[in-house]
């Protein structure tokens, strides 16, 4: 599964802790505030989200892009200490 994480963090302390956690889970920094992984599995991603939830506060925002997940793009957002999820179906439809 491909996972990208976009980070908008309110303090340097949070930025440092989130960066360390993402690297620990195998993510690579590809740009300021943007990390990618091709190796993380579903269980690791759930643990990472719980860890990041503890490392952030209401001023921080994280956005996860997960693909593929059963022919869907899953976008998870942590904002104001609440997780929200959007699921986009990517399977092709036949035209009549």
Domain regions of the chain by residue span: 2-89
CATH class of 2-89: alpha beta
Strand ranges, E, within 1-96: 2-8, 28-31, 34-37, 61-67, 72-79, 82-89
Whole-prediction pTM value?
0.86
pLDDT tens digit sequence for 36-90: 999 999 899 999 999 999 999 999 999 999 987 678 899 999 998 899 999 988 7
């Amino acid at each position: 599964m491909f996972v990208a994480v976009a980070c908008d963090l309110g303090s340097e302390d949070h930025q440092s802790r989130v960066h360390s956690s993402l690297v620990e889970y195998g993510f690579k920094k590809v740009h300021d505030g943007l990390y990618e992984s091709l190796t993380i599995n579903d269980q690791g991603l759930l643990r990472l989200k719980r860890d990041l939830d503890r490392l952030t506060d209401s001023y921080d925002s994280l956005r996860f892009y997960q693909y593929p997940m059963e022919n869907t793009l899953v976008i998870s957002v942590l904002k104001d200490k609440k997780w929200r999820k959007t699921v986009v179906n990517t399977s092709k439809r036949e035209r009549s």
